Amino acid sequence: MKTLALSLVFACFAANAFAQDASPTSARSLDIVQVISQTTDDGTYGLVPMHLVYKDSKGLVHTLDYTIIGSGCSNG
């Protein structure tokens, strides 16, 4: 019984750690000083993978991959 309880405690800690690492980027503030490159929405229908490469205020280059809903479905 102690082993089961201990396993549940560790599982809760592991789930909490994963949830903190998997927070959506929109919840974080981004330090973008210069956009180096980015993909554009080309009118594709559905979910579209996007890619942004930017430089922060410390001069470090970061890559951000995210998904948007494409603008190809303009009828609602």
Q: Which domain holds residue 39?
A: 2-69
What's the pTM?
Answer: 0.55
- 75 inside domain: no
The rounded distance, in Å, linking the Cα atoms of 44 and 38 is 16
- 76 inside domain: no
The rounded distance, in Å, linking the Cα atoms of 22 and 5 is 26
Q: What mean pLDDT comes out for the span 51-61?
A: 95
Instruction: For residue 37, list its beta bridge partners.
Output: 53
Counting residues of the chain whose pLDDT is more than 90, the rounded percentage is 37
Calculate the CA 6 to chain-centre distance.
32
Both tokens assigned to 13: 């800690």
- 37 inside domain: yes
How confident is the model at residue 11, as a pLDDT?
56
CB 39 within 8 A of CB 12: no
**Total of domains in the chain:** 1
The rounded distance, in Å, linking the Cα atoms of 59 and 21 is 24
- 38 inside domain: yes
